[in-house]
Every structure is written in structure tokens, then in C-alpha cells.
Structure 1
Amino acid sequence: MLKGLILYAQFFTRISIPVEIQHPEEKFKNNIQYFSLFGIILGLIEAGIFWIWCQIFPIWFAWILFLIGDGIITGGFHLDALADSADGIFSSRTVDKMLTIMKDSRLGTMGTLALLYFYAIMIGLGVCLSNAGFSISKMSLLAAVVVMYAKTGISFNFYKMKYAGKGGGLASIWEGISTWRIVFDQIFAMVVTFLLLGISGLISYVAVFIVAVLYRRYIYGLFSGMTGDTVGCFAEISQVVFLLVYVGINLSNLGGML
């Protein structure tokens, strides 16, 4: 487990851990059941930084700094996938051309818009909660869970995954992951979500699951499988969906009931 967590930190963040992991592809697959555990550990680190910012700045501004910090810590790993996927999928080209565009390192119009929309929604929702009087402690817990959902969301896409690209790209290493590992990871995420955010958090998890099923069907309909970009793209989508539903519940009359 420990080597798996170290590998994930080396792969998904800019945190320097000078430990050589032998057989990384095997370790990646065989530790997916701890994927959300890695996510919540990273989330708690970022939530701690957010809490410190809250001692200096208003909560709404600390939330913006939290999102900026997340991009710095992760190196924008999933943000790049979001932008590439948007450029390819919304290019209105043939499937082969879409895949070629997604591999292009240059940022296009749709990718730029996707990033702008992502940050507009994530910042706006944080400001909404701040204006609604959410405490620093509740916002900190939410920040930790939101970070976790970048990994929880990706985990959905590992289920019986087929690689859509040619020549064995990065995503091909995620084929053949045992179903029980994914189920264990999702159960862990549900338990953590419920313990930290209650029923409204659990309902938000269900919303992410439903969108994951629809997203998977759409992507497989286009490409007959997943690419590294389409897998990573859902990390950001899952965060947006989770936060949208959670904030919607807590700012409506349902919030008091749940």
C-alpha cells in the first residue's frame, strides 16, 4: 500500500519523494483500491493550507487560493486532460482527427473555454458557500473531499476499461484492473464522504456516479474506449458535479433537512 501511495504522489503531484518504485505499472494497477485514500490524504494537506489562508484572508478569497494551490501541487495534470479532451471532442472532426487533436500539446479555443468554465464554477460555488455563512471548518472538510473526488471520479473509468488509442499510450496501463479494487475504492470514498459531509455529501456522490455512467457511455460511443485525456478529464468533471449538487442541496430548503 505504502509504495502505491508514494507512486501516486510521484505521478499525480509535484511533491518530490526520492523513492524508486520498482515495476510502477504493476504497482499502479494493484493499488487502485487505495486511490481515494491517496486522494483524501492529498485533500487533507490542501485543506490544511486552505485553513491557514482563512486565518489571513476572507474565506472566499482563501477558496480561490486553494484552487490555485491545487493546480500548482498537481501541476495541472487533470486540467491539461480537460483542455485536451474539450479541444478534441468539440472540434467536430472525425474520430481519428479528434484523437490527433487531443495529443497536440497546444491549447485551443474549446480547451481554453473548458478551463475558464471549470474555474468559474468552482470559484463561484465556493463564494456561494462563503456568503451563506459556511464555517472555516466545514469549508476545509469540503476542500479535502473535493480534492479526493479527482481520484474517486477517475476510478469509475477503470471499470473494464478499453484503451481507444493506437500504439499503447499511457492509458493502456490501466486496462485489466480487477473490479473488486474499484469497488473497494468507491466504498471507501462513500464512507469518507458520509463521515465528513453527511447525507448531502452522499447524495452528491450518487450524482457523480450517474454522470460517470453517462460520460463513459458517451466516450465509448465516440472512441470505443478511453484515452489518457478522457480518463483525466473526468477528474475535473467529477469535482464540478459533486460541488454543484452539494452546494445546491445546502443552499436550498433541503440543506436543513439533510
Structure 2
Amino acid sequence: MHKSLYESAIMKTWLNYQLNLFLLALSFFSRLPMAKNIQYSPSKMRRATRYFPLVGWLLAVILVAVYVVIQPLVGSSPALCLLIILSLLMTGALHEDGIADTFDSFFGGYTQQHKLTIMKDSRIGTYGTCALVMALLSKFMLLSTLANQGMLVISLLVAYPLSRAMAISLVQDMYYISNHVPGSDSKSETLAKPFSPKNLNFVVITGAAACILLPFLTTIYLLVGCLILRYWLRFWINKHISGYTGDCLGTAQQLQELLIYLIILSNI
């Protein structure tokens, strides 16, 4: 009896700890309202990163629910516009900010230090504006076509967690550079340590789980395509700044998401 109560207490403590980690991840990667009693520490934040794909799951489910409700009322295109706006509001445009800063930096800078300085500048330049506009337009066009093909819901459920899993996996084999820039103060610094094998497996499984909704061959194309893009991004980012920053992870998430939509669309 006492052993059973002890095991129950241990399980409850563990579940509360995991819930706290998930809420930490949710507060970091989204702007959804959070309870004020979430326990924070840098070590907890690093462990919470494993839940990044699950944050993608939650965001995707919210978007799907909203689309299902409003699409019959306003039509497909207006519903998709509202969906993209809602996604920006829920994430605080965190990843879109990353792609704008990264393109400004990589195409506007001359040296590694200059590129990192541009990346930290809150202003947006020509390259960043072009990249951001093209990313949003591409997303709208791809989602619109997927909606016409009846694949929007599945595509969102696949793309949101998988793109985040692929993006956060870059911390596993890249060097975090932003904390070595004088005067830098990046909230991504707490994520800069590689995953343990157990946590990496959790990220992969939760990120790719929705692929079971797709045909087997489409899943193969999707995973191969995402891995190819991941390794190209690692090469491209290292070429410019010899490591990664939080903005680079945001860029990776956005490009992976667009690629996922494109591969699903090409295999319908």
C-alpha cells in the first residue's frame, strides 16, 4: 500500500515536472497566455526544448480548428489569410523575424562580425523584406492550393511539428555563436547545448509522428527532402557565420515548412 502511494507520488511529481517543461517551451516559442507560476531556470529551459515539436502540434490543432469554423463562413482565401495572421500572432512572428534577419545578414554583410551585427539590428533591410514577403506569399499560395486539393488540414498537422523538429535539431551538430558576440543578449543562448540521445529521439518521434497521415511514398520523399534541406542549411549557415543563432533556427523552420507543403502538394 505504502509502495503504491510512493510510486503514485513519484509519477505525479514527474508529470508535473514534464508539464512545467512543456509550458516553458510554449511560453518561449509562442505568445499564448501562460500561467504565472511556471518554474524557470536555464537548465529547465534546455530540457524544455524537446517539446518544441509538441508546441507545433498545439499551434497546428488551433489553426485547424479555427479554419474548420470560419472557412464555411468567409470562404477559403479569406480564411487562409486569417489563418496566417493568427499564426503570426500566436508565435509573435518569431520565426518570420528570424528569416528576415538572416537574409539581411547573409546578403548584406561582408565579414562574419558584420553579418552578426546586422543580424542583431532590429531594423529590417531590403533583403530581409524580400525574404519575408516571398515566404508569406509562398505560404499563402501553397496553402491555398492544398486547401483546394482537400489536403490543408493534414499538411498543417504535418508541417508545424516536423519543421520545428528539423529546425531545433540543428543545435545537435552546430556551434552556437551568438553568445560570443560582444554585447549580444540572445534568449536562444539557453538552448545552445546538444540533446541527449533520449531527448533527440523524442524530438524526432514527436516531429515526424503526423507523417502517418500521409501515403508511405510521400512520407519517404518528405523525410528525405527535409533531411537534405537540413544538411544544406547547416552548410550554408556555417559558411556565413561559422555557427548558428536563434535567427538561423527561425529561418530553418520557415524554409522547412515551405518545403513540406511543396512536397505534399507535388505528391497528391
Q: Scaled by the length of structure 2, what TM-score is found?
A: 0.84
User: Which one of 178, 201, 222 corresponds to residue 240 of structure 2?
Assistant: 222
2:13: which partner in 1?
none
2:154: which partner in 1?
141
Q: Is the 8 A contact 2:49 2:191 kept in 1?
A: no
1:254: which partner in 2?
none
- What aligned pairs does 1:34-73 form with structure 2 within 5 A after superposition? 34-73=51-90
User: Which one of 216, 219, 235 corresponds to residue 253 of structure 2?
Assistant: 235
User: Which one of 200, 219, 228 corresponds to residue 182 of structure 1?
Assistant: 200
Q: 2: CA distance between counterparts of 1:245 and 1:174?
A: 29
2:123: which partner in 1?
106
Per the TM alignment, residue 198 of structure 1 is displaced from its structure 2 partner at its CA by 3.3
- What aligned pairs does 1:108-187 form with structure 2 within 5 A after superposition? 108-131=125-148, 133-134=149-150, 138-165=151-178, 166-167=181-182, 169-180=186-197, 181-187=199-205
Identify if the C-alpha distance between structure 1 residues 171 and 12 changes in structure 2 by more than 3 Å, giving closer, same or farther. closer
Q: 1: CA distance between counterparts of 2:86 and 2:219?
A: 23
Per the TM alignment, residue 162 of structure 1 is displaced from its structure 2 partner at its CA by 1.5
Per the TM alignment, residue 57 of structure 1 is displaced from its structure 2 partner at its CA by 2.4
Give the aligned length: 245
Matched, 1:75 2:92: yes
Per the TM alignment, residue 146 of structure 1 is displaced from its structure 2 partner at its CA by 2.5
- What aligned pairs does 1:16-35 form with structure 2 within 5 A after superposition? 16-35=33-52
**Unpaired stretches in structure 2, ≥5 consecutive residues:** 1-17
- What aligned pairs does 1:181-200 form with structure 2 within 5 A after superposition? 181-194=199-212, 196-199=213-216, 200=218
Residue identity over aligned pairs, in percent, reads: 25
Q: 2: CA distance between counterparts of 1:49 and 1:144?
A: 13
Deviations 1:5-59 (A, max 9, x none): 1112211222111233333321222133332122112211121111112121222
Identify if the C-alpha distance between structure 1 residues 213 and 44 changes in structure 2 by more than 3 Å, giving closer, same or farther. same
What is the one-letter code of the residue matched to 1:48? A
Q: Is the 8 A contact 1:29 1:174 kept in 2?
A: yes
What is the one-letter code of the residue matched to 2:227? F
2:3: which partner in 1?
none
Deviations 1:118-148 (A, max 9, x none): 01111111222234x42xxx42232233222
Per the TM alignment, residue 89 of structure 1 is displaced from its structure 2 partner at its CA by 0.5
Q: Scaled by the length of structure 1, what TM-score is found?
A: 0.87
1:207: which partner in 2?
225
What is the one-letter code of the residue matched to 1:13? S
Identify if the C-alpha distance between structure 1 residues 62 and 205 changes in structure 2 by more than 3 Å, giving closer, same or farther. farther
User: Which one of 19, 23, 32 corresponds to residue 15 of structure 1?
Assistant: 32
Per the TM alignment, residue 83 of structure 1 is displaced from its structure 2 partner at its CA by 0.4
1:248: which partner in 2?
266
Q: 2: CA distance between counterparts of 1:163 and 1:170?
A: 12
Per the TM alignment, residue 150 of structure 1 is displaced from its structure 2 partner at its CA by 4.2
Judge which range, 170-179 or 35-44, deviates more.
170-179
Deviations 1:93-113 (A, max 9, x none): 111111101100001001110
